[in-house]
């Protein structure tokens, strides 16, 4: 049952071969059976079964929504009214959300069933899911390896068949990198295509909510439901949305650029490189125009990203002070001590590192040297990226330099961990859509993905071509 695409499940629901309650019970059993993966922080059994009963009634009455019976997990930084949310951090342990994120309201309105909240790197800061307050999450393909981050719980749950699809957030690759490591489809929409209202912010000008699924169609359908303007989010675009799930796999010939520097990178795994080059050759032989383009700013992507995101994080996370909500340290004599102890005890090591980095680059003596320079670099990156996309339909890169790595291998070296984002942060810096497709299989038995990027708000073409790749290569 878990391996079936949603379209097939929906047909079976319509034919009364199965019910939503049976689906929920099946996935609840799978979650218990594979509890060692530690993907779920909390399972919403009661509310999921209640929603399932309501959706069954709507299916029987013939007025169910687009997502009727789709069992979804949500990352632990997306708010769901009356349910706990905590960004996998001690500082928000026990906090119950008073409202739902716009994306949650939209998927529930179309009769999706939310089965639980999924673990992630604390406040979405990490590439391995080793920074969660609730313990590490396991890669279902090999329990000695990380699932990627920060949406590792979302990717692991979908890969292990614990839910049909999951929502994650992507600040610098946090949907696409774990999707690559776990063998899923991971979509980061254009910045502003999906409302961020109800997403616990890491870096507000980078964050974007998106789906992790087993196939391209399910990702397209979820985007279709979630996309569009939102009065609660002024950064949400008013551009018209498409019926993304209605894409056609057509025999159109596209112009595809691949970044020369990515495939010549010394840190790129040989098998990932060989597969990527082979795929590009196949595309060229099929009649697509495939060309190498230079992107000399590649070496500046990660530095610019971490200067700007840590600056935004230091501001966004200042609200967690032990006074208004969340964890409050005891044995504090005055307000200043409450702040210091609550934040010192409530935040983990990596979050504190990024807050301190962000505070440093925003400080009076270093603002121009780091933050202002980071903003200028971002504009150059966006301009050069969009210039390429004026000439080509898609930009191709590997999603990650290698497959998943073993637990502990990079956790003591922040720079090595940050370099995991080298191919994914470009899309966030430029604000463009990007998708990771589960195309490759390494000799070590682990999956890896390839990434496609396209011009802003061209998700329809991106999804159409992605489906073509997955089905034909």
The answer to whether 11 is a known catalytic residue is: no
The alpha carbon dihedral of 350, 204, 424, 145 has a sign of: positive
**Is beta strand 185-188 parallel, antiparallel or unpaired with respect to 434-441?**
antiparallel
Q: What phi, psi does 104 have (nearest 5°)?
A: -65, -45
Is position 174 annotated as part of the catalytic site? yes
- The active-site residue, picked from 174, 245, 265, 454, is 174
- Among the listed residues 75, 136, 188, 410, the single catalytic one is 75
Are residues 236 and 196 in contact, defined by beta-carbon separation less than 8 angstroms? yes
Please state, in angstroms and rounded to a whole number, the distance separating the CA atoms of residues 409 and 432. Answer: 31
DSSP string, 253-288: --EEEEEHHHHT-TTS-HHHHHHHHHHHHHHHHTT-
Sign of CA dihedral 341, 342, 348, 353: negative
Nearest to 439 by CA among 429, 450, 428, 431: 450
Which position among 150, 180, 342, 466 bears the catalytic label?
Answer: 150
Active site residue 128: no
Helix (H, G, I), strand (E, B) or coil at 60: helix
Query: With the CA atoms of 162, 163, 167 and 172 taken in that order, what torsion angle do they form, in degrees rounded to the nearest 10?
Result: 40
Q: In whole angstroms, what is the distance from residue 426 CA to residue 191 CA?
A: 12
Which are the catalytic amino acids?
75, 150, 174
């Amino acid at each position: 049952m878990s391996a079936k695409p949603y379209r097939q499940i929906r047909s079976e629901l319509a034919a009364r071969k199965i019910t939503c309650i049976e689906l929920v019970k099946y996935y609840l059993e799978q979650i218990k059976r594979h509890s060692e993966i530690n993907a779920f922080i909390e399972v919403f059994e009661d509310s999921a079964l209640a929603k399932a009963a309501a959706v069954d009634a709507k299916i029987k009455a013939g007025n169910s929504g687009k997502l009727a019976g789709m069992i979804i997990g949500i990352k632990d930084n997306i708010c769901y009214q009356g349910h706990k949310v905590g960004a996998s951090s001690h500082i928000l342990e026990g906090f119950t959300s008073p409202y739902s994120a716009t994306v949650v309201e939209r998927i529930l309105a179309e009769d999706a069933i939310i089965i639980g909240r999924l673990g992630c790197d604390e406040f979405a800061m990490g590439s391995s899911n080793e920074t969660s307050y609730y313990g590490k999450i396991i890669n279902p393909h090999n329990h000695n390896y990380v699932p990627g981050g920060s949406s590792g719980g979302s990717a692991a749950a979908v890969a292990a068949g614990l839910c049909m699809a999951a929502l994650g957030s992507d600040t610098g690759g946090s949907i696409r990198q774990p999707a690559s490591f776990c063998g899923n489809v991971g979509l980061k929409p254009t910045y502003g295509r999906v409302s961020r209202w109800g997403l616990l912010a890491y870096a507000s000008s980078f964050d974007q909510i998106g789906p992790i699924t087993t196939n391209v169609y399910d990702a397209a359908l979820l985007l279709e439901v979630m996309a569009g303007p939102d009065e609660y989010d002024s950064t949400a675009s008013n551009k018209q949305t498409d019926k993304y799930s209605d894409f056609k796999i057509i025999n159109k010939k596209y112009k595809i650029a691949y970044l020369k520097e990515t495939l010549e990178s010394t840190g790129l795994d040989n098998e990932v490189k060989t597969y990527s080059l082979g795929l590009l050759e196949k595309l060229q032989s099929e009649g697509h125009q495939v060309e190498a383009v230079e992107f000399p700013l590649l070496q500046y992507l990660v530095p610019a990203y971490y200067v700007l995101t840590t600056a935004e994080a230091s501001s966004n996370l200042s609200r967690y002070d032990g006074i208004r909500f969340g964890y409050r340290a005891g044995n504090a004599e005055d307000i200043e001590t409450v702040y210091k102890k609550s934040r010192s005890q409530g935040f983990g090591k990596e979050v504190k590192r990024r807050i301190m980095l962000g505070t440093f680059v925003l400080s009076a003596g270093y603002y121009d040297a780091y933050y202002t320079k980071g903003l200028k670099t971002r504009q150059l990156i966006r301009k050069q990226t969009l210039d390429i996309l004026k000439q080509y339909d898609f930009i191709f890169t590997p999603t990650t330099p290698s497959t998943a790595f073993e637990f502990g291998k990079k956790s003591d070296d922040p720079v090595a961990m940050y370099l995991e984002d080298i191919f994914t942060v470009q899309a966030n810096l430029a604000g463009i859509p990007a998708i990771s497709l589960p195309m490759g299989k390494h000799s070590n038995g682990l999956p890896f993905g390839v990434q496609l990027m396209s011009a802003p708000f061209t998700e329809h073409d991106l999804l159409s071509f992605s489906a073509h790749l997955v089905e034909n290569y």
